[in-house]
Structure 1
Amino acid sequence: MTTQVRTASATDAATIAYVVATAFHPLDVTRWLIPDPQERANRFPHYARILIDHAFEHGTIHITTDLNAVAVWLPHPLPDPPSYATKLAYACGVWTPRFQLLDQAMHHAHPQDLGPHDYLAFLAVMPQYQGQGCGAALLDHHHNYLDEHGRAAYLEASNTHSRKLYTHHGYTDCAPPLDLHYQGEPMYPMWRQPPTPGNNRLA
């Protein structure tokens, strides 16, 4: 069965935040950000909404029609969301310093000299639908647009499993893994250059 993808609207914001928070809940980096599971479940949707709302204003969000998978893209360069520090503190509470460390590490790794590109802030699939091609369908959907416009893409893979998925879709490591001094898998900065004209490489 083919996965159907559509562009999300602002009315989908709460659902998108829930999918992101649920999919990211067991990741090593997320467990480090907010160790308490209940706090993580309560706070992460509010954190995700900061970037989701920013993407509705400036970027692109795609969602599967069954609402079980989402991809949140932001153009780069792009300023931080308005009042970002205040919103981050409200969303993350006592865990804000760890989110600030994550921001600093991601900013340090993010290529600044390779020209405009799209940044994949979140690719999230509900746990029971992972491994069924939903993430690949979302990637292909946006990569088609990027390739038509000769535009590159950047992301941070959250673990070796997602890194394999992104490698299959044309991404390569572009910086050392993020060093945040937690136990578990690091995040891997990855870059995707669009195919040159006449190159039939898969997206």
Structure 2
Amino acid sequence: MADAPPLVLATRDHRDAVAAMLARAFADDPAMSFIFPDPQVRARKLPALFQLLFDADAAHGVRLITAGGEAATLWRAPGHAATGIGEMLRHAFPMLATFGTALGRALAVSNAISAHMPAGGYWYLHIAGCDPAHQGKGLGGAAIGGGLDRVARGRLPAYLETATESNLGLYQHYGFRVLGDWRVPGGGPHFWSMWRDP
């Protein structure tokens, strides 16, 4: 694409549309497939999960979407990458309702992610997704690059993890490098931790 599409701050009014788009984007994601092995259950549960994540990132982060809602990045500010106990308690009942019998697998993924987060101050790219109908148009990359320009502004590092090996090249294009790789215990997915210097 010659010009990057504009990004806008996602508000409460965007919540359902962003959650539905992210559910489509993560339909075949290895981590989501581990948490919800049945594709029909996954399709039903992911919109509610992404609604919760969208809400959780409001207090200590920035939620950005392309103007048409085709791609989104949810960022957590320095010092707020990990989910605190207060946040967990606030979302306990909705999480139980969303995960149901998948709660154990979800906690295994969450705990492994938290255990591999680096120390220090950095912007955490919590979620990045692009609607499958719009992939290959540069919109996902624009949401990542535009988000980096907006949050890190060249002064702060950024961190992410991904369970999708094919995404490594995209993130490397935007300055991330692989810190290491690891697997969620109990037969869980393989993840790559990635870091971007200021």
Q: CA deviation at 1:150?
A: 0.8
Contact 1:178 1:189 in 2 (8 A): no
- Kindly tell me: are residues 95 and 147 of structure 1, through their superposed partners in 2, closer, same or farther at Cα, counting changes over 3 Å? closer
Q: 2:144 aligns to what?
A: 139
Q: 2:130 aligns to what?
A: 125
Q: Indicate how the Cα distance of structure 1 residues 143 and 9 shifts in structure 2: closer, same or farther if over 3 A, else same.
A: same
Q: Which moved more, 1:164-173 or 1:73-82?
A: 73-82
Post-superposition Cα deviations, 1:117-163, rounded to whole Å, max 9, x if no partner, equal 11111111011211211111111112113443611111112312111
Letter in 2 for 1:102: V
How many residue pairs end up in the alignment? 191
Amino acid at match of 1:6: V
Contact 1:109 1:178 survives alignment (8 Å): no
Whole-Å Cα distance in 1 between the matches of residues 142 and 91 of structure 2? Answer: 31
SS in 2 for 1:26: coil
- Of 28, 33, 36, the match for 2:35: 33
C-alpha displacement of 1:29: 2.0
Structure-1 separation of matches of 2:131 and 2:191: 20
Corresponding position of 1:188? 192
Deviations 1:29-51 (A, max 9, x none): 21111011121111112122222
For 1:130 and 1:154, the matched residues in 2 are separated by 23
Q: Is the 8 A contact 2:74 2:126 kept in 1?
A: yes
Contact 2:109 2:184 in 1 (8 A): no
Uncovered stretches (5+) of structure 2, i.e. residues with no partner: none
Listed as ranges, the matches of 1:1-203 within 5 Å are 2=3, 3-78=5-80, 79-80=83-84, 81=87, 82-112=89-119, 115-148=120-153, 150-182=155-187, 186-194=190-198
- 5+ residue gaps in structure 1? 195-203
Could you give the per-residue CA deviations for residues 141-187 of structure 1, whole angstroms, max 9, x where no partner exists?
Answer: 1211344361111111231211111111111112322334547x622
Q: CA RMSD in A?
A: 1.8
Q: Distance in 2 between matches of 1:174 and 1:190?
A: 5
Q: Quick check: 1:106–1:178 contact (8 Å CA) kept in 2?
A: no
Aligned counterparts of 1:169 and 1:126: Cα–Cα separation in 2: 20
What amino acid does structure 1 have at the position aligned with 2:118? Answer: P
The ranges of structure 1 where at least 4 consecutive aligned residues each deviate by more than 4 angstroms after the TM superposition are: none
- 1:62/1:72 contact within 8 Å kept: yes
Cα distance in 2 for partners of 1:28, 1:58 equals 27
Does structure 1 conserve the Cα–Cα contact (< 8 Å) formed by 2:152 and 2:158?
no
SS in 2 for 1:70: strand
Contact in 2 for aligned 1:175/1:189 (Cα 8 Å)? yes
Aligned-residue sequence identity (percent) comes to 25
The answer to whether the Cα contact below 8 Å between 2:181 and 2:191 also exists between their aligned partners in 1 is no
